[in-house]
Amino acid sequence: MILVLLGAPGSGKGTQSKKLVTEKGWPQLSTGDMFRAAISQKTPVGLKAKSYMDKGDLVPDEVVIGIVEERIRAPDCKKGFILDGFPRTIPQAEALDRVLENNARSVGRVVFFQISDDFLVSRLSGRRSCTKCGAMFHLETAPPKKAGVCDACGHSPLVQRDDDQPAVIQKRLQVYRDQTAPLKGYYERQKKLYSIDATLAPDQVYENLLSALK
């Protein structure tokens, strides 16, 4: 199974993919992790990506695709893998299809996490993280036992990340709508898209995700 998870920031893709990793044993591939691994291993595409990142430039699609292709050839991807946060654009999706075809593979299922902007802003703006251990809380759905203090550390303060500020969230959602949302139509035309309600409780979302894979 080669699975692509689509959805806006905060729609729950990362949470659900971690459950799939545990149950199915498929590695979760994110561009950030792949970049860091390729750079630390000093692979040719990793060094090329680093040259752009060091200058503060966006890494071109052909380099991103090269890193993805290098990663999916690893032994742990043989039985399948999960792509979370990639592809982000239709050109990236087209390039991914070509890379997989060259390796006699193809995307098996694309799951779209359906959620409204208002729900997302509420979900993300309520998040708080520990400054010491990184534990995550939510003011409404998973509050700490003591306001503003991490349960795990017992005394470390909780903060709101800059990218969870409402104004920043709206900018992130606009970038998503402009660049990534068109992928829904791309995969619909391939008859690979399955939509699930991402506003449900996490356990129910996971059950629906498993149903989408059958």
Per-residue confidence of the chain (214 residues) as pLDDT tens digits? 999 999 888 888 988 998 999 999 999 998 778 888 888 889 888 888 888 888 877 788 888 888 888 889 899 999 999 998 889 889 999 999 999 999 899 999 999 999 998 888 888 888 899 988 888 888 888 899 999 999 988 788 999 988 788 888 888 888 888 888 899 999 999 999 999 999 999 999 999 999 999 8
Amino acid in position 109: R
Q: pTM of the predicted model, to two decimals? A: 0.80
Catalytic residue among 19, 24, 50, 88: 88
Res 179: pLDDT:
81
Q: The domain at 2-26+79-213 falls in which architecture? A: 3-Layer(aba) Sandwich (3.40)
Per-residue confidence (pLDDT) for residue 128, from 0 to 100? 92
Determine whether 71 is an active site residue: no
The catalytic position among 13, 48, 71, 128 is: 13
pLDDT of residue 34: 83
Whole-number Å distance between alpha carbons of 29 and 176? 19
Residue 18 designated active-site = no
d(CA 134, CA 152): 10
Distance, C-alpha 171 to centroid of its chain = 17
Q: Examine residue 87 and say whether the peptide bond preceding it is cis (omega within 30 degrees of 0).
A: yes
**Is residue 189 among the annotated active site residues?**
no
For CA atoms 168, 194, 142, 23, give the dihedral sign. Answer: negative
The number of C-alpha atoms within 13 Å of 24 and in the hemisphere containing its C-beta is 23
Describe the crossing of helices 31-40 and 44-54 by its angle, rounded to 10 degrees: 110
The H-or-E segment that residue 119 falls in is helix 117-125
Q: Report how far residue 154's alpha carbon sits from residue 81's, in angstroms, rounded to the nearest whole number.
A: 37
CA distance to 19, 48, 51, 82, 175, per residue, from 57 (Å): 34, 12, 9, 27, 17
- Give residue 22's pLDDT: 93
128 is catalytic: no
Q: Which of the residues 105, 172, 184, 192 is marked catalytic? A: 172
Domain segments of the chain: what residues? Answer: 2-26+79-213
13 classed as catalytic: yes
pLDDT score, position 214:
86
* Annotated catalytic residue, options 73, 161, 171, 177: 161
pLDDT at position 54: 81
Q: Do 20 and 209 form a contact (C-beta atoms < 8 A)?
A: yes
What letter represents residue 214's amino acid?
K
The pLDDT value recorded for residue 184 is 93
